[in-house]
Chain A
Amino acid sequence: AQTVTQSQPEMSVQEAETVTLSCTYDTSESNYYLFWYKQPPSRQMILVIRQEAYKQQNATENRFSVNFQKAAKSFSLKISDSQLGDTAMYFCAFMSIQGAQKLVFGQGTRLTINP
């Protein structure tokens, strides 16, 4: 079974700084998807960024980018020029393309952006 580990329960940075959230996963599959989801306080979970394992190029969405290291099974999220609205719980998630497409979530990292 796949597992996802986020080793940083909480992080806090100043507005405009760059922050990196860590995620490692374990799987024996060669093709899969990885995601970062953001869940602001009392608000909806939304997709931040996704990475297809067969693509070597790291995904980027505006201020959000990932560092995908397939051999190391590492998938970190970098937030550049952090904003107050980035304050949220961030979940790393894995999805196999084999069988049922279930998301396996990490434990989450609570990120606080301070003014």
Chain B
Amino acid sequence: DAMVIQNPRYQVTQFGKPVTLSCSQTLNHNVMYWYQQKSSQAPKLLFHYYDKDFNNEADTPDNFQSRRPNTSFCFLDIRSPGLGDAAMYLCATEGDGNYEQYFGPGTRLTVT
């Protein structure tokens, strides 16, 4: 089945140690999103790609970066994780003009 895959599902990192989360999709969607979701809160959009065009939300910390090497893959890099970055990170995709986002299962990040 076509889907959105996130790896790893659980990630533990140390305070200040860079970490990369990955997302892949078999839907061939041209738009990919990264959200941060803290416990019992709504997802918060960090940035999105429209094809290779990167769009950063105004309040996304500089500590968060993203790469999209091709249509299928997108990466979230956290350069120096702090305790406040512990959260679920959701990847989502959308086909152009579809107006419907498909979410991956998320990566739960723990910062020790």
Residues of A that sit less than 8 Å from B by CB: 33, 35, 37, 43-47, 50, 52, 89, 91, 95, 97, 100-103, 105-108, 110
Stretch touching chain A among B39-47, B61-69, B76-84: B39-47
Q: Known A100-B50, A100-B55, A101-B94; judge A44-B103 contact (CB<8 A).
A: yes
Partner of A47, one of B55, B100, B106: B100
Residues of A within 8 A of B102 (CB): 47
In angstroms, Cα B45 to Cα A105, docked, is: 10
* A108 CA / B40 CA spacing, docked (Å): 8
Contact residues on B (Cβ < 8 Å of other chain), bracket: 10 to 19
Nearest chain B CB to A26 CB, angstrom units: 16
B35 → chain A closest CB, angstroms: 9
- A100 to B100 CA separation, bound complex (whole angstroms): 13
Give the residue of B42, B50, B94, B105 whose beta carbon is less than 8 angstroms from that of A106: B42
